[in-house]
Structure 1
């Protein structure tokens, strides 16, 4: 059997698949096997709940095979629990399921007397042998058992490599981690729209969190208030129907620690900085941004540091134009901060791409070593933060879309250090 092309994917998804096929051909590989939750979603348009919610347990259980030959159709290897939905959402016709522990048949089917004698028992979770057999068949039907297969090798489990070597010893895996990040760095319109809505939700969370702030409120209170603002806004409009989750790293007062266990310290007092570094996921795309406020008054040291960081942020944004090297953004921010009162201030980057990864920082980074040129369709989180153990944490961060003539800032909240409470 040869699996020929014939899926009813959307035009945009077809373009994504064509871009991946083209990259495979350039790299001299015969197919790409999407492995990470991000790349499974990117290649198929289907967000597997098992893979996105429980990735460290379920890596390797949802795979998308994209042959370099456009006459060969893609395939999805996935559990029978999600197979029908994956086929409907992706438009990929060849969806090959393996069984998991969940009973899926109708009540009527379950009541057919005597039929149980032919039912194979379901696995406790899933059968690796059955999954391997399904993947092997997808490869064999396309003549790929001895091929060069690109995949996300940086994140592929050693167990997956071992199992593939067992059923396809002549197959050679090639790392295409950076290739997919490079392809994903240029966003389609639907991706930018998802990030736009995610940014709106995140700013609604910040706005709600700082309203009516009271003395004694902790960073944990800010975390909860941010979450409440995001959820209330998402529930109030169908525009945010694709909302799935959010993240936030709040800070109150003079602290550089992050994480819930550091957020129960001293509560708000006049002059304390309140920092938000946060984002929301909409349709699988995760935003990133941040703002800083001062409770009831602004201390001179905080004002001085903040002013220099904001000027650096403006200079960095100004460099975000097509055709310029990414490193120029870093150089503009770094040199301004060091030449304006903070000569020892250093960072590894002043921003990064965003997209589908659950850890929102994706390459390329706005770093001193990034020689790649800025291109239309890129989306960067531009940030000039400081984590000072005496003044407090500061975050100034925007999502910025590169256009053909310059850029568009997705965040709308003012950049100035505002007084809250």
Structure 2
């Protein structure tokens, strides 16, 4: 079984540092959970819950070892899960009777002043006038002002797109994780669909899905199943009580988090496996665009061209008013499974070997929510499909 133990931290560090040198960046100051994990191999529980910059930091120097700055309560886990990084702890409100803690003063919550002081000390050892790459979307205005004051606004630059460029080409370990996560989500979706009967609701669906995920591989966490049932096509946070009826369209869309990586597959089907001609016709148009798109993917193909093929085919063969902002996305460590780059208009990026993408063709109306979505790996001359979507609404039968 693939796990964090096989993750080669040095490989990730070298990828980041190669990009830094190309862009003349002295240090990355990472504040999002996803990029801290990508750079260090550690995903902070407290940062995921509190969503407050400074709860955890990763510092990546242009040369040398990545640094993780984490609170005293999480440091033990970081020590167990990470290798080939430097881990520095700061104080929190939590007392740990480990024979070493001596302070009789505690902050009410995380000591974010201390965590930032550690950042300052580490950066000062890298350069007296560093160019610092940051993630603006995961900074507070207060922290941004502090960085501008300490280092100068012209020395603090946005590296969001550069980080995405690094992350979009996957390592062999990442490919194994993503392949397994996709297949796991696909199997759980199929097993869930087989159990659904009239009278069930979204609470039942999610419980059944979680049951199957746990039975298949209990290392998967944070199931993200977005459902459409009957006329209820929009995405709920608090699940709905609508009871399934025979003939209802059902869309099961999403996956799991597996060792920090997401999966995202979608299946659409009819309760009772007796689709009407109108329902199947809609599905067939979507499937034709989906299949046409998959057949064209290979290194060198522009993402924008694939979008035009998929969207245009669907319009031509059955849904003339169909149009979306994108027809798929890269997938990796982002907590929201849809991560850039997107299969979208004006996206000049071309597919490259070892990218992992989702292709999808969602359609929503009060007559039912549809989506066909699979994950695939771009190979040197085509693709490896991680999953295989159903060709009929009368599924699974």
- TM-score under structure 2 length normalisation: 0.92
Identify if the C-alpha distance between structure 1 residues 309 and 365 changes in structure 2 by more than 3 Å, giving closer, same or farther: same
Alignment of 1:53-132 (within 5 A): 53-56=48-51, 58-68=52-62, 70=63, 72-106=64-98, 109=99, 119-132=103-116
1:179-219 deviation per Cα after TM superposition (whole angstroms, max 9, x unaligned): 11111011111111111221222123212322243222223
Q: Is the 8 A contact 2:169 2:354 kept in 1?
A: yes
| Pairwise CA distance, 1:32 | 1.2
| Pairwise CA distance, 1:413 | 5.2
Q: CA RMSD in A?
A: 2.3
Aligned to 2:261: 285
Separation in 2, partners of 1:255, 1:93: 48
Alignment match of 1:20 (pick from 16, 35, 46): 16
Aligned to 2:270: 294
- Higher Rg of the two aligned structures: 1
Aligned to 1:32: 28
1:222-241 deviation per Cα after TM superposition (whole angstroms, max 9, x unaligned): 22222222122224xxxxx3
Q: Is the 8 A contact 1:136 1:168 kept in 2?
A: no
Aligned to 1:176: 159
Alignment of 1:152-171 (within 5 A): 152-165=135-148, 167-168=150-151
Alignment match of 2:249 (pick from 262, 266, 273): 273
Aligned to 1:371: 348
Alignment of 1:11-410 (within 5 A): 12-51=8-47, 53-56=48-51, 58-68=52-62, 70=63, 72-106=64-98, 109=99, 119-144=103-128, 146-165=129-148, 167-168=150-151, 172-235=155-218, 241=219, 243-261=220-238, 263-265=240-242, 267-296=243-272, 297-390=274-367, 392-410=368-386
- TM-score under structure 1 length normalisation: 0.87
Q: Secondary structure at the match of 1:134?
A: helix
What count of residue pairs does the alignment treat as equivalent? Answer: 392
Q: Is the 8 A contact 1:41 1:47 kept in 2?
A: yes
Give the gaps of 5 or more residues in structure 1. Answer: 1-8, 111-115, 236-240
